Amino acid sequence: MGLSFYNEAQKVWDDVTREMIVDDKDFDLAVHKKLLDVFHVGSYYYYVFDIKNLEFRFISPAVKDVLGYEPENVTVPFIMSLIHPEDQATFLNHEAAVVEFVKQLSYDQLARYKFSYDYRVRKASGKYARILQQVVSLKYDENNNLLYTFGVHTDISHLKKNNDSILSFIGLEGEKSYIDVKPKEIYKASGEIFTPREKEVLFHILKGEQSQEIAENLFISKHTVNTHRKNILSKTNTKNTIELAIKIVTEGLV
């Protein structure tokens, strides 16, 4: 989805921040660190998301340990560009469902819900990590417009291998919980994770051809072929040609 994916996310978030008057005074993050007790954490980093301005007001240094990127380089558009292409439609549908649910809550209820679901994010190494996203409302105005949310991203790759994302609204302080919420399918997965050229290279890879042979057949350099190979392995989260072939066949990726 590329840039359009980020633009669609902007539209979703804008729906929960309309007509708000933002008090942009700094707040003491230390006061809110106690919110970490709400989350089940393993290898994780946390952040404060400014919904109106679509930016991180804070992101913890641990993002480098989890994803491999320097904190100062991790912006909202950047982190969204790392979401696996197959998970982008799911991400948008989940966010839209959260926004609709939040709009139904009373002022007092806003701080008593945690929203969670998971998706794959590409690490600096090129491999994908399955990230559990857990978010609570941090600051909002008298009209129930969210200003800031507090979130935790936890690497659960070692706990979950399938690609089914579960959306849940977790009630706190006695509020009712909603587990495995089925969101409306507003956005549909494109189904295309490879570029046309990657598909050509993949076809020859599956025929058992080596990089030099593929380069000659497609009239491109061996270096270009190797770059495509690397991208294909990264997109499929596989380590070698054998794993790639198995995944292509079992999941019907082409």
Residue 32 confidence (pLDDT): 58
Q: What is the CATH number of the domain that holds 207?
A: 1.10.10.10
Of 149, 181, 213, the residue at which a domain comes to its end is 181
Query: For the residues 78-104, what does the mean pLDDT come to?
Result: 90
Of 181, 211, 239, the residue at which a domain comes to its end is 181
Whether residue 108 sits in one domain with residue 221:
no
Of 122, 152, 181, the residue at which a domain comes to its end is 181
- Which pLDDT tens digit goes with each residue over 218-253? 999 999 999 999 999 988 888 888 888 877 766 656
Residue 187 to residues 7, 13, 168, Cα–Cα distance (Å): 13, 15, 19
Q: What is the CATH number of the domain that holds 172?
A: 3.30.450.20
Whether residue 84 sits in one domain with residue 152:
yes
Q: Which two tokens stand for residue 231?
A: 């991208």
Is residue 186 domain-resident?
A: no
What is the average pLDDT value for the chain, to the nearest integer?
85
User: Does residue 49 carry a pLDDT above 80?
Assistant: yes
Whether residue 84 sits in one domain with residue 134:
yes
Whether residue 206 sits in one domain with residue 139:
no
Whether residue 201 sits in one domain with residue 81:
no
Residue 140 confidence (pLDDT): 85
37 phi and psi angles, rounded to 5 deg = -65, -20
pLDDT-wise least confident of 26-30, 44-48, 110-114, 176-180: 26-30
Q: Which two tokens stand for residue 136?
A: 């609570």
Is residue 215 domain-resident?
A: yes
Whether residue 139 sits in one domain with residue 238:
no
